[in-house]
Structure 1
């Protein structure tokens, strides 16, 4: 039985040869774009449209029409392709509707070579959008899946191509529209849209990608291979846009294993009521045991890094599926009650009580089914976490991991570092490592002030400040321990000397080249030296004379830790700090601030760009970070060293010994 998907849900594909049937509800152009591992559209040649209908492994319709068939051969796609996005665009100037809101909801069906339907999706909730990515086929751990996307663009094809990272997207969109214009002119006029078609979750207001999160939590950029922004691999393009909504069951199909058979989704028992978002039933048999290092990549480190981010995405989407199903169950119960009790005369008595009971039972049934699917997916993710966590290298591992017992100063810097853990309230035990790419493209702000989280509200202000200092030391110590000897130099500003106890592991181990700077003069001296270094490096890069830097310029990466900002800072020092936050990363100078924003309020909006330029983390658990796919507010847990553990002191002792051995 075919799976009826809701936005964000995915489903495994049974083979490589597929046909995608699209009913657009009126004349529309059907096409497809190819994406690399990061979902990025590299060049115009990766777009299939009526003017260029054939690409390797892909063929689309040759003109605008109400119905389309797209042929796909996944095995024939270029090896660099990891994603196929199926798109619908309303042709401009054809006398037809200007937005999908005037049409019936588009319907997409994915079928196998025998014509049997594999999955279907009704693209609901569209309004002012004139272009939409309906579904995407994507490769995950060697297996292909289909995902319901339903992401609309009021800016049309140009906005869609820009969002997929295509250079000169507007020029390409104009060329595509010109190529399809003759066929669009021959298209028949569309039927008018009627209310109530389709089902699913509503999209976000038009004006951009539908459902793009506009929430308060700071979004963690997608850091899958070759994705771009603040926490991404270095070889980059823009990240795939956030996809609002739900996910299907998590599939850990290993590329060297035979595929597992899956059962189709259960059908709704009530034929008269709208069907709920489909929740696939449990897979037959026992799921394959996850394998550590099952992500893409050339090295085990890269494969583990990508696998962790794959787990992060899976957990975000499967939780979104559960939340979407619960929301649907609530809305359906309200609708049923409204219909049953619309007549004021029927709101009391045994009949009303029975109607309420029936609506409540149906809601409970839907929620129980969704919870069962969530629990199944969580069990699979937990099993993967139990395999992956012990295999993580020190840079990725928790402080209590055995990896630190055998830690040695490496010969080269890692690709990423763990800056904490992320979790959601639906599954308080499962935690995903928060891995951040190195070198840091954004500085870090350890917020020592009060936040809205329960842990922050109940913590003593002095304890929060002490924990903030300990977190800064733990992060700096981890960075020193995972860099080669002499590969990272740490400078510490402690104007008031209040952080001496928190800094003890750094100062007592000998891992610091210079003791922490105190007082306004010490602050000014360190800031002047780092500002000069940034100026010299930038000048050398512009003139292509990087080998002509003065001998006193330290070639190692630089990390500046600022405690108790703004104490000890005058206006000149504040300006230098802002300069280092903006220009430092490009010259190998990175900033980590321990600060309470309220204590710097006298500077007003002058410092707003500084706070925005830094990635905020907290010394106590807080839900201020959002994922780049769904936009959940994740609970962040800081990577503090366990109380009484000597792991950090031992690691820093090895750093100091390696520096002495190498004369650095």
Structure 2
């Protein structure tokens, strides 16, 4: 969800860290916190130091990441051979203690994440794995040395590299998160996991730099002058760029940000750090997101809709929703980890009491048991307090974001549908429902998927084992599944321009006629639903031909040779009550459309009960795997790829008695009639 949840592909080692006592003390706006793995904390200022302490020499570095956490190139990595980036300076030496200088205001505009890296490399001396040395600790401090947050990285074993901290931007403000993710494959594996193609080459360069003894301590940033707002202001003569306008790194494939080694922004060895970005943007920047109203001292910033990065409001809202998803996932993971640790520690202490016959019974045993349970309750209460704080902030943000969402992202009960007009452009994404976790069922995060759809949809018409589905009989579940398909199809029709989307429906037995009536009566579905073997064969043959022709034209570079009567709009085929009424040839064509169709604009929406297809055996397994399964009732079948939570999915239901679906489809039908589609 601020970025798309990052799926780690490299082999990593993750450990559970014991929660430590969090200390929140107010000193003006400065709060000190001892973090546990996964926990975050707001940063009260943007000019900081990160102090690192270890029992043996280690190498410290930092990477800059975009909205998705991807490192765009070697220019976005600060390491001993290249210690300076805009807003970041690290040490050239391997040492037991480091001080990294950070100015978050001076980072390139496209940077949303800063990862602090620790590594054991050849040439630095000492152990070759973190498990053989004392646990390293990191602390984020202000320039006056006041500690903001600290984190001790425990339970490392065979890892030789670790991502210690993540500084990330949320709601126009910065936070720090304790990460502690280790890599047994060392620097190369860690950099590769952050999306850097040249990971092996850069790891070798860092090893060489350490071996050559390139050592220089990082100078503390210069003190802030009177009236300075925290950003270093430098005039750039002859460029036409305004001061304080950071460069926009290119995030498209093949493009790289400006070189960090540009002498216009460099600092002389041993001198003060110049945080000015070396490549000033000459084009006008996008409209900035709305500024949040000032918050009381010591309180988190008040949420504002659209305060994420992006060139348009829709893009900023999309990024903000994904950021809310990520924050909810990680704060819940930190809470569950803390609760698990509290339970395991209590069990260990109780086992210790029971294992000794001298303390198994009597007043001493009762006291030991009471103390163990009290410690467990205290740790759980502390974790719940942190969770409730984060959930309250996310709930406040959701209350602000939801009313601001455009039709493609909004619920059916949103007032935005009352002023609906057929759009002229395709939106970034589409809302397929809501997601929530049991820790706060009332906090629902919109489930947004990018357009055009990268995979088809499977609306499960069978029993899923959910509590909601258990109360309904099979006929009712099938009816709800058909109505869910109509609601999704209506939303797709509503958010696409009238000439860029076509809809086809296969209903072999005509059993979904009542559910499909809004599509037919409004004119949004130009051809009636296809029934019978001949109709099914005709529709599948036409769509298969379209996929073949477009694929051949694209591969040969002859798109102008496509037949003039070929409909090049995005195609959606709704297949109801599969596999009833489908022979083996039709099943093969459906599998082909599911695999090859999305790349050339042909998408499937299947309404089916997987148990009904058991007669086909495993032949249909690839078909189910290629589709995104959603349900017509609330169900906890979705899991995010990197934390592993089981998210409860809520379908986007039209409110009972509402005519919004009919009104929207009526406008779509009239627009299609006027256009001649």
Query: The TM-score by the shorter chain falls in which range?
Result: 0.7 to 0.9
Q: 2:635 matched to 1:617? A: no
User: TM-score when scaled to structure 2?
Assistant: 0.81
- Asked if the contact 1:110/1:120 (under 8 Å) is kept, the reply is yes
Task: Return the alpha-carbon distance in structure 2 between the equivalents of residues 35 and 59 of structure 1.
Answer: 16
Structure 2 vs 1, CA of residues 182 and 435 (structure 1 numbering), >3 Å: closer, same or farther? same
- Asked if the contact 2:572/2:602 (under 8 Å) is kept, the reply is yes
- Asked if the contact 1:493/1:561 (under 8 Å) is kept, the reply is yes
Q: 2:398 matched to 1:385? A: yes
Of 313, 316, 333, the match for 1:303: 316
Task: Return the alpha-carbon distance in structure 2 between the equivalents of residues 419 and 235 of structure 1.
Answer: 28
- Asked if the contact 2:66/2:112 (under 8 Å) is kept, the reply is yes
The Cα shift of 1:551 comes to 1.2
User: TM-score when scaled to structure 1?
Assistant: 0.82
5 Å-filtered alignment, 1:240-319, equals: 255-258=291-294, 261-262=297-298, 283=299, 289-319=302-332
Task: Return the alpha-carbon distance in structure 2 between the equivalents of residues 53 and 524 of structure 1.
Answer: 64
Q: 2:405 matched to 1:395? A: no
Of 365, 382, 404, the match for 1:369: 382
Task: Return the alpha-carbon distance in structure 2 between the equivalents of residues 444 and 177 of structure 1.
Answer: 48
Q: 2:574 matched to 1:544? A: no
Residues 544-591 of structure 1: CA deviation (Å, up to 9, x unaligned):
333332111112111111112222222222222122112111111111
SS state at 2:513 partner = coil
Structure 2 vs 1, CA of residues 653 and 474 (structure 1 numbering), >3 Å: closer, same or farther? same
Of 496, 507, 517, the match for 1:483: 496
5 Å-filtered alignment, 1:21-100, equals: 21-92=51-122, 96-100=126-130
- Asked if the contact 1:112/1:118 (under 8 Å) is kept, the reply is yes
The Cα shift of 1:469 comes to 1.1
Q: 2:215 matched to 1:166? A: no
The Cα shift of 1:332 comes to 3.0
Q: 2:548 matched to 1:518? A: no
Q: 2:157 matched to 1:127? A: yes
Q: 2:343 matched to 1:324? A: no
Task: Determine the structure 2 residue equivalent to 1:660.
Answer: 673
SS state at 1:293 partner = coil
The Cα shift of 1:420 comes to 0.7
The Cα shift of 1:419 comes to 0.6
Task: Return the alpha-carbon distance in structure 2 between the equivalents of residues 397 and 227 of structure 1.
Answer: 30
Residues 254-283 of structure 1: CA deviation (Å, up to 9, x unaligned):
855556543xxxxxxxxxxxxxxxxxxxx4
Task: Return the alpha-carbon distance in structure 1 between the equivalents of residues 462 and 132 of structure 2.
Answer: 50
Gaps of 5+ in 2: 1-24, 26-31, 216-248, 256-288
Structure 2 vs 1, CA of residues 68 and 372 (structure 1 numbering), >3 Å: closer, same or farther? closer
Task: Return the alpha-carbon distance in structure 2 between the equivalents of residues 236 and 562 of structure 1.
Answer: 40
- Asked if the contact 1:316/1:629 (under 8 Å) is kept, the reply is no
Task: Determine the structure 2 residue equivalent to 1:136.
Answer: 166
Structure 2 vs 1, CA of residues 534 and 169 (structure 1 numbering), >3 Å: closer, same or farther? farther
Task: Determine the structure 2 residue equivalent to 1:557.
Answer: 570
The Cα shift of 1:23 comes to 2.2
- Asked if the contact 2:167/2:175 (under 8 Å) is kept, the reply is yes
Task: Return the alpha-carbon distance in structure 1 between the equivalents of residues 82 and 296 of structure 2.
Answer: 37
Task: Determine the structure 1 residue equivalent to 2:136.
Answer: 106
Task: Return the alpha-carbon distance in structure 2 between the equivalents of residues 76 and 497 of structure 1.
Answer: 63
Task: Return the alpha-carbon distance in structure 1 between the equivalents of residues 214 and 590 of structure 2.
Answer: 57
Of 176, 179, 182, the match for 2:212: 182
Task: Return the alpha-carbon distance in structure 2 between the equivalents of residues 304 and 71 of structure 1.
Answer: 32
Task: Return the alpha-carbon distance in structure 1 between the equivalents of residues 422 and 57 of structure 2.
Answer: 63
Structure 2 vs 1, CA of residues 314 and 661 (structure 1 numbering), >3 Å: closer, same or farther? same
What is the root-mean-square deviation of aligned Cα atoms in Å? Answer: 2.6
- Asked if the contact 1:409/1:482 (under 8 Å) is kept, the reply is yes
Task: Determine the structure 2 residue equivalent to 1:268.
Answer: none
SS state at 2:117 partner = strand
The Cα shift of 1:298 comes to 2.4
SS state at 1:516 partner = coil
Q: 2:649 matched to 1:643? A: no
Of 147, 150, 160, the match for 2:180: 150
Task: Determine the structure 2 residue equivalent to 1:280.
Answer: none
The Cα shift of 1:608 comes to 2.2
Task: Return the alpha-carbon distance in structure 2 between the equivalents of residues 601 and 408 of structure 1.
Answer: 44
Gaps of 5+ in 1: 186-225, 229-233, 238-252, 263-282
SS state at 1:345 partner = coil
Residues 10-63 of structure 1: CA deviation (Å, up to 9, x unaligned):
122232322212223323222111111221111112112112222222222213
5 Å-filtered alignment, 1:455-494, equals: 455-494=468-507
Number of aligned residue pairs: 581
The Cα shift of 1:334 comes to 2.3
SS state at 1:383 partner = helix
The Cα shift of 1:71 comes to 1.9
Q: 2:647 matched to 1:631? A: no
SS state at 1:125 partner = coil
Moved over 6 A (4+): 234-237
Structure 2 vs 1, CA of residues 106 and 614 (structure 1 numbering), >3 Å: closer, same or farther? same
